[in-house]
Amino acid sequence: MKTLRDESGNVLVLTALSMTMLLSFLAFAVDVGNLFFTQRKLQTYADSAAMAGALEASICGSGSPDCAVVQSAASTALTADSGVTVPAGNIFTQCATASGSGVLLTINNGPCALGATDPNNGDASYVEAVVAQQTPTFFARIFGVNTVTVSARAEAGKSSAQPCMIVTGPTGQTTTLNAAGKITDGTGSDCGVWVDSNASGDCLGGTPADMENVGATVDVGSYNVHGNVCDNGGSYTPTPTLGASSVPDPFAAEITAHTLTVPTTTGLTTYYPSPISTNTTLSPGYYPSGFNTNSGTYTITLNPGLYYMGSNVVIGGNATINGTGVTIYMASGSLTMNTATHVNLTAPSSGTTAGMLIWEASTDSSAMILDSASDASWGGAIYVPDAQLTLNGGSTAVAYGMVVVQSVMVDSAISLSCTSMPGGVCPGSSGSSDGSATVALAE
């Protein structure tokens, strides 16, 4: 009897079996990689939602787990990060069972997802966000697994440091501090600067970092940069914290929550003033063409109220502009204070624009400029969310309120403080009497 010894074709069989196994591993790797990618994305959304909610937590007070302001701020922040609007039916509170299609957001104030193992469990000064999403699989469908629920959790609360300036631009070199530039805390203030940009530049390859310091001085309570710093002879007290969490725009959250109201022209008297070249008193109202002043040693006085500007505002050199209880809303156009201008303005302490001094529409990218040898005392918030604040050489500014800008260029000196705000409250602090608006991720 002959034994069959022909082994031709065995390699093909073994290869086919091996390929099946290799393809199975590849399929597993693709699905797992996609799930990890989704989880990291959801973690970013959860971080933003928790921090935005924590900024507004003090409005609700204790014992208000279903506070609409916190929910609105959290969902708005998530949408801003993801571009996905979370419908009301997909927002849950206090560890309610979340179910449905699309992105699901659970807001817990205080935290409850981890129960007693969380040291902040039930503490209403913290906000917990859990973001979940049904994620489709690719190859696991072969085994009957069509979707996998991926979730991420974050928890945030008030930190001890308080922000006086937030630079919100998400990418690129958003903060430029040139030689002779100086950012300091005002007398009695201990606040910080946050730079949210996360550019990858390191100054060495020509790619801009998030902040470039060319011989400037920074002496504030804290300096926090989400990305990198390009340092060229700068001086810091304390040393900048790199890789810090970005800080949500507190005014955007308060506008969404209706604790601040975006100005309109409704009910305002319309004015078309000629170029000003003498002592003048202006009244609140709608200025479709803005206004401008010629150079000269005279004073413009603004009566209390809302000044709604439809075009450029230019204050001529050597002129002085004074006003108490004033909000200047730039719907369009730039705000320029020319060489040797003197500015003394204070925001209203009550009403729908309380604490807001200079407010630029989010659709306007026109710059706000304080030119050389000028001095400014801004008694209120400076909110320029889509534009650059420029402080040219030799100018000085004292900002008694939070400064929120997309980018900033400092050639001169600015002093920051939230200690002398109208009503004792720094806008963006969610009504906190001490103005401590900064939040930090706890977990």
For residue 287, pLDDT beyond 90: yes
Tokens representing 297 are 């040693």
pLDDT tens for each residue of 177-230: 877 788 888 776 777 788 887 765 555 444 444 455 556 788 888 888 887 777
Same domain? 114 vs 76:
yes
What H or E segment, with its residue span, contains residue 60?
A: helix 10-60
Tokens representing 71 are 């929910």
Same domain? 190 vs 330:
yes
Q: Which residue range is the domain that position 56 belongs to? A: 16-158
Is 281 exposed, middle or buried, given 0-12, 13-18 or 19+ CB atoms closer than 10 A? exposed
Secondary structure in 3-state letters for 400-421: ECCEEEEEEEECCEEEEECCCC
Residue 237 domain-assigned? yes
Residue 302 domain-assigned? yes
| DSSP states along 221-278 | SEEEESS-EEESS-EEESPPEETPPP---HHHHHHHTTSS-----TTPPB--PPPB-S
Residue 32 domain-assigned? yes
Same domain? 353 vs 251:
yes
Same domain? 150 vs 194:
no
Can you say how many angstroms the Cα of residue 292 is from the centroid of all Cα atoms in its chain?
A: 31
At residue 34, the pLDDT reads: 76
At residue 247, the pLDDT reads: 74
Same domain? 103 vs 234:
no
Residue 377 domain-assigned? yes
Residue 411 domain-assigned? yes
pLDDT tens for each residue of 48-68: 888 878 877 765 654 456 677
Same domain? 61 vs 167:
no
Is pLDDT larger for residue 172 or for residue 358?
A: 358
Same domain? 251 vs 226:
yes
Q: What distance in Å separates the CA atoms of residue 252 and residue 226, rounded to the nearest whole number?
A: 19
For residue 385, how many C-alpha atoms fall within 13 Å in the half-sphere facing its CB? 14
Pairing, β 147-158 against β 126-136: antiparallel
For residue 404, pLDDT beyond 60: yes
Phi/psi-derived region of residue 52, left when phi > 0, alpha when psi is between -120 and 50, beta in every other case: alpha
Q: What would the mean pLDDT of 379-393 be, rounded to a whole number?
A: 87
pLDDT tens for each residue of 251-279: 876 776 667 789 999 999 999 998 898 99
Of all residues in the chain, what percent carry a pLDDT higher than 90? 18
Residue where a domain terminates, one of 121, 137, 158 = 158
Residue 272 domain-assigned? yes
For residue 162, pLDDT beyond 70: no
Lowest mean pLDDT: which of 191-200, 371-380, 431-440?
431-440
pTM tops 0.85: no
Residue where a domain terminates, one of 100, 125, 158 = 158
Same domain? 148 vs 167:
no
- In this structure, the number of other CB atoms found within 10 A of the CB of residue 354 comes to 20
Residue 3 domain-assigned? no
Residue 308 domain-assigned? yes
Residues shown for the chain: 443
* Number of structural domains found in the chain: 2
At residue 211, the pLDDT reads: 53
Q: 290: closest CA among 333, 321, 326?
A: 333
Same domain? 184 vs 123:
no
For residue 437, pLDDT beyond 50: no
Is 407 exposed, middle or buried, given 0-12, 13-18 or 19+ CB atoms closer than 10 A? buried
Same domain? 260 vs 393:
yes
For residue 434, pLDDT beyond 70: no
At residue 429, the pLDDT reads: 44
For residue 88, pLDDT beyond 90: no
Is pLDDT larger for residue 97 or for residue 437?
A: 97
Spatial contact of 254 and 245, defined as CB atoms under 8 Å apart: no
Most confident of 245-259, 364-378, 425-439: 364-378
At residue 20, the pLDDT reads: 59
Residue where a domain terminates, one of 99, 130, 158 = 158
Q: 438: closest CA among 254, 248, 260?
A: 248
At residue 166, the pLDDT reads: 86
For residue 422, pLDDT beyond 50: no
For residue 319, pLDDT beyond 80: yes
Same domain? 238 vs 265:
yes
Same domain? 166 vs 154:
no
The three-class DSSP label of residue 144 is: coil
